Amino acid sequence: MDKNKIIVFDTTLRDGEQSPGCSMNTDEKIKVALQLEKLGVDVIEAGFAAASPGDFDAVSQIAQIVKNSTICSLSRAIENDIKQAGLAVQKANKHRIHTFIATSPIHMQYKLKMTPDEVIKRAVRAVEYAKTFVEDVEFSCEDAGRSEISFLKEVMDAVINAGAKTINLPDTVGYRLPTELASMIKELSEYAKDRAIISVHNHNDLGLATANTLASVLNGARQIEVTINGLGERAGNSALEEAVMAIKVRKDIFGDLYTNINTPELYATSRLIATITGVEPQQNKAIVGKNAFAHESGIHQDGVLKHQETYEIMRPEDVGVIKDSTLILGKHSGRAAFRDKIVQLGFDKVSDDELNAAFERFKVLADKKKDITDDDVRMLITDEALNHDKIYELVGLQISDCSSGMPMAAVSIKYEDKIIKDAGLGDGTMDAIFKTIDRITGYSGELKDYKVISVSEGKDSLAKVTTRVSFENSQAFVGHGLSIDTMQATANAYIGALNSYLSQKNRLTKNCGHQV
């Protein structure tokens, strides 16, 4: 084991997905996992296999597709959870079970209703049982941040003896300050010595998650549990991009400590997650926010023009932000320039079909819009990749509305080589579109969330719509729509959610007879 290597454990697909409104379907999770692999993440926590058949399906598919990163599933210290985790990750090249139980007085007394002794026994049984599925078992003392150090040591001894290789000490409720966590991690790392790797998993309730992660690394932690864009339960987790760049930029402090993260992939990974979840990082978010490398005021601009490092502590290209694109795309650009641009933007695994479909859409867009930005191209490619399950496909949409009239939508949809047309009224234009689509497809969706953002600036910007829709009392499915026309993007996003629901339903029924 290299003492200077910081293992990057990404939990975007598990804790990140616990952010309200951030659930992803299996295809989306696979795309994220492949991008995390490209980013160089050591361990991907692909989900909580026992949580639902959909989660089990996603973890097992990722386990079979990703080759370089270790694939891990979280599980409570409960036999059936561990079994589901073990079965889900078993086909991975490298696999891990991550089992946990809370160790703080407040969690043991009120939530688990267990005595400390019972918790230790349960933890040991969990690790021993997990070892019957995989060699690599991680154990987490949930709410370690509010646990007693002496009890943590007892739990650590017991689970290490049972075979746990990594001990994670989460600050589950983001309570600790960096100096406090640093001393706790120092004491427990020294206590563990070479018996196990000490890991940290910090939440951001006081805005200290990344500070806590870095303080822990400086005090012996050799695994960091992080998420892209800092997604996660409540105020989120420590952001991968922040922790990794701090270690890289501040060599004077971190010395020989390093991660294997391919940092020029950070921005593309962040964009993929934002596009899939529809949750944009705040504009001033470190590393990946829209303003992270923007200089507004004259004195700063003057400084950067004279010498970039006056106001930039890292180069935008180090994190994959391309500031000055040399290739300008427009209506006269051809396929070669388009392909070149998407490679430049970091998409090197786009299939010919996806490229051709995106190129056709690019040409239509270029006819309507003067400047095609990098963000437009990125969205076109991602949208094509996210909407490949075209069970139902929007062919035409016509809407009419006036301030005192009856909103109406006429919709035509392709289904199995047939074009089905219908028209209907609604309480607003969007309602008319949704109701007409429901009538054509025979599925009545319940809209749980709707978001629209403009991809770039200007009146002719592309609209990117993300919907979350539940069908037949299912969980909410995400749909994406992209168009210069917001209503067209809305219809596509709604149909996309239905397609996503139907493909998941088909796959689960085929694989294991489960309902969605």
Residues at the annotated binding site for Mn(2+)? 15, 201, 203, 237
Q: Would you state the structure tokens that stand for residue 428, as one six-digit string? A: 């607003």
Q: State whether residue 327 is helix, strand or coil.
A: coil
Q: Which is nearer to ligand KIV, 166 or 504 (CB)?
A: 166
Hey, CA dihedral for 178, 180, 182, 188, is it positive or negative?
Answer: negative
* Interface pattern 203-242 for ligand KIV (x via CB under 6 A): x---------------------------------------
- Which residues between 189 and 208 bind ligand KIV (CB under 6 A)? 201, 203
The entry of ligand KIV, ligand ACO, none that residue 78 binds, CB within 5 to 8 Å by partner kind:
ligand ACO
Does position 112 interact with ligand ACO (CB under 6 A)? The reply is yes
φ and ψ of 471, to 5 deg? -120, 140
Does position 48 interact with ligand ACO (CB under 6 A)? The reply is yes
**Residues of the binding site:** 15, 201, 203, 237
CB 492 within 8 A of CB 483: yes
Selected binder of ligand KIV within 35, 103, 166, 172 (CB under 6 A): 172
Task: Quote the CA–CA distance of 31 and 166 in Å, as a whole number.
Answer: 27
**What would you measure as the largest C-alpha separation in the chain, in angstroms?**
74
Q: Which is nearer to ligand KIV, 170 or 220 (CB)?
A: 170
Helix (H) / strand (E) containing 222: none
- Which residues between 120 and 159 bind ligand KIV (CB under 6 A)? 140, 142
Selected binder of ligand ACO within 51, 209, 273, 478 (CB under 6 A): 51
Selected binder of ligand ACO within 172, 269, 333, 490 (CB under 6 A): 172
The entry of ligand ACO, ligand KIV, none that residue 112 binds, CB within 5 to 8 Å by partner kind:
ligand ACO
User: Looking at residue 393, what DSSP letter applies?
Assistant: E
Give the count of residues interacting with ligand KIV (CB under 6 A).
Answer: 9
The entry of ligand ACO, ligand KIV, none that residue 241 binds, CB within 5 to 8 Å by partner kind:
none
* Interface pattern 115-154 for ligand ACO (x via CB under 6 A): ---------------------------x------------
β-pair type (445-454, 463-471): antiparallel
242, HSE (Cβ side, Cα atoms, 13 Å): 26
The entry of ligand KIV, ligand ACO, none that residue 140 binds, CB within 5 to 8 Å by partner kind:
ligand KIV
The entry of ligand ACO, ligand KIV, none that residue 490 binds, CB within 5 to 8 Å by partner kind:
none
φ and ψ of 457, to 5 deg? -90, 170
Q: Would you state the structure tokens that stand for residue 267, as one six-digit string? A: 């921005």
* Interface pattern 72-111 for ligand ACO (x via CB under 6 A): ----xxx---------------------xx---------x
Q: Which burial class, exposed, middle or buried, applies to 21 when counting CB atoms under 10 A from its CB (0-12, 13-18, 19+)?
A: middle
- Which residues between 81 and 110 bind ligand KIV (CB under 6 A)? 100
CA distances from 81 to 24, 94, 164, 337, 478 (A): 21, 20, 17, 50, 26
Mind spelling out the 3-state secondary structure of 302-320?
HHHHHCHHHCCCCCHHHHC
Give the count of residues interacting with ligand ACO (CB under 6 A).
Answer: 15
Q: Would you state the structure tokens that stand for residue 246, as one six-digit string? A: 């701090």
What is the Rg, in whole angstroms, of the alpha carbon atoms belonging to the chain? 24
- Positions touching ligand ACO (CB under 6 A) are 15, 18, 48, 50-51, 76-78, 100-101, 111-112, 142, 172, 233
- Positions touching ligand KIV (CB under 6 A) are 15, 100, 140, 142, 168, 170, 172, 201, 203
